[in-house]
Amino acid sequence: MCIDIGGTGLKMMVLNAEGKSVTERLRELTPEEPTPQNILAVLDAMQKKVGPYDRISVGFPGVLKHGRTLGAFNLDPAWANFPLESRLCKMWKRPVRAANDAAIQGLGAIRGKGVELCLTLGTGLGSSLFTDGRLCPGLELAHHIWRRKKTYEDDLGKRGLEKHGKEKWNRHVARAITQTQALFNWDTLYLGGGNAKHLTMDLPANVKIVPNEDGLLGGVALWRDTP
């Protein structure tokens, strides 16, 4: 069972070992008070509808280490140092692996060749970097200063889209493409997330828009080292 925790919506789907969906995608709105208790309550109700599963992958909008969330800027302060993996394992009596949501989106999109960067344009900005298919953990580009003391997330996240409008927001995305190319020398850039649908610019051949479902489909990759 793959779960995508977002600042706007919670998604869930069961996949087979090859990463193919065996159920429809369920979606519920993220609670107005997105505390761990409230979000886990919604997820618990959702998982009762999806049918049988034997392990769980979770994409989370923040940095995780050793199964704990270090925080989530677009959720609630209560997520600081929250034991997400162990809490879900206790709730559902199944093994759990959790990772940054952009990392899972990237795992669902990459081809495993060269340097690949994934940026998710949603409530905030997610980022994940891969070299020959291997994740470089801990990247959090969203809160890096990039323009007039503003962060990437300030201009490219939902707040930036609402503040600037689609036309100017697209120009900021184009600038971010240029800057990240210079910073990471990526071979391929993948753009995902709920707001990727608002992209109207002509993209270079090595910049690809990926479907939102990759944020769930990549969950199988967290178990590649397990039979």
pLDDT in tens, the chain (227 residues): 999 998 889 999 999 988 888 999 999 999 999 999 999 999 999 999 998 999 999 999 888 889 999 888 789 999 999 999 999 999 999 999 999 989 998 998 999 999 999 999 988 899 999 999 999 988 889 889 988 889 999 999 999 999 999 999 999 999 999 999 999 999 999 999 889 999 999 999 999 999 877 777 788 888 887 65
* Same topology between domain 2-103 and domain 111-215: yes
Residue 41's CB: how many other CB atoms inside 10 A?
Answer: 12
Integer Cα distance of 107 and 104 in angstroms: 5
Q: Does the domain spanning 2-103 belong to CATH 3.40.50.2300?
A: no
Q: Is 9 left (phi over 0), alpha (psi -120 to 50) or beta?
A: beta
- Please tell me the pTM assigned to this model: 0.85
Integer Cα distance of 192 and 214 in angstroms: 8
Q: 51 exposed, middle or buried (CB, 10 Å; 0-12, 13-18, 19+)?
A: exposed
pLDDT of the residue at 226: 66
pLDDT of the residue at 168: 96
pLDDT of the residue at 62: 86
Dihedral of the alpha carbons of 10, 15, 20, 26, in degrees to the nearest 10: -30
pLDDT of the residue at 119: 95
Q: Is 19 left (phi over 0), alpha (psi -120 to 50) or beta?
A: left
In the chain, what are the domain boundaries? 2-103, 111-215
pLDDT of the residue at 67: 93
Total residue length of the chain: 227
pLDDT of the residue at 72: 81
CATH second-level architecture of 111-215? 2-Layer Sandwich (3.30)
Residues 6+ apart with CB under 8 A from 130: 106, 110, 112, 115, 116, 117, 118, 136
Integer Cα distance of 35 and 145 in angstroms: 27
pLDDT of the residue at 227: 59
Task: Note the pLDDT tens digit of each residue in 99-125.
Answer: 998 999 899 899 999 999 999 998 889
pLDDT of the residue at 146: 87
